Amino acid sequence: MPRFAFETKANKKVKEIIADKTNNKLENIIATPFTIDPEYVDRHITVSLKEESVPKEFISVSKQVKLGNYCVCMQSIGDMFPYWLNKSSYAGFIIGYILKHIQLYGNFVEIPEKEFVAWAGCHRQRFYEALNALLRPAVPYPCAGDNLALLAATTKKSIYVVNHNFIFRGNYDEFVTLYELKFPNGCKLDSKGRVIIER
């Protein structure tokens, strides 16, 4: 039986390019306490063969991500915006800052106090008030408050994990795949409920 080898120079070059792009995407992903919510979908496939008069049905169950493929801002953020705004009128400024600074395929953002205060033209007290309105509860385990939070604090100063269920830029399905490969054991939180960044 003949053997075919398709390992050409062109294939090697494409593999290197894809590996580089994947590495760049992986650098923008850190562990998250926010759930990735896949749904299981039953697919019914009916196949009719000429030899048989009765069609056969095959069922396939596959994991699919509920949310869209490419987005700048998920639709569900509109449901939560009044809640956050009610807690702090400056929460919208932080959301705007995140939308401007979040990286493609990234699930975190750096929000330095001085830079944000200058950008938003507000007092530092308003910055922390708005930040607290968007942060998940400071508990070292997943909790109901995670569904209401846009951000999670980390062990690195000024770095916050963005809830990908509300704001994400990139192919969401690919993000989920890369995230599950990079963090098969999920997210580790310290005693203050901050995401532990291991670098």
CB atoms within 10 A of CB 132: 13
**How far is residue 57's CA from residue 117's CA, in Å, rounded to a whole number?**
61
DSSP state of 141: S
Kindly report the average pLDDT of the chain as a whole number.
Answer: 84
Say what the pLDDT of residue 50 is. 54
- Give the C-alpha separation, 107 to 195, whole Å: 12
Element (H, E) at 171: strand 170-171
List the chain domain ranges. 26-182
Euclidean distance between CA atoms 199 and 183, whole angstroms: 13
Q: What's residue 78's pLDDT?
A: 79
Give the long-range contacts of residues 67-72, CB within 8 A, separation 24 or more: 67/165, 67/172, 68/172, 69/171, 69/172, 69/173, 70/169, 70/170, 70/171, 70/172, 71/168, 71/169, 71/172, 72/99, 72/167, 72/169
**What pLDDT sits at residue 69?**
46
More confident site: 180 or 171: 180
Count CB atoms within 10 A of the CB of residue 57: 9
Closest by alpha carbon to 91, among 63, 122, 62, 52? 122
**pTM flag (> 0.95):** no
Closest CA to 113 of 90, 144, 136, 79: 90
Output the pLDDT for position 39: 55
pLDDT in tens, 59-101: 555 555 544 444 555 667 878 889 999 999 999 999 999 989 9
State residue 42's pLDDT score: 56
Q: How many Å apart are CA 39 and CA 142, to the nearest integer?
A: 20
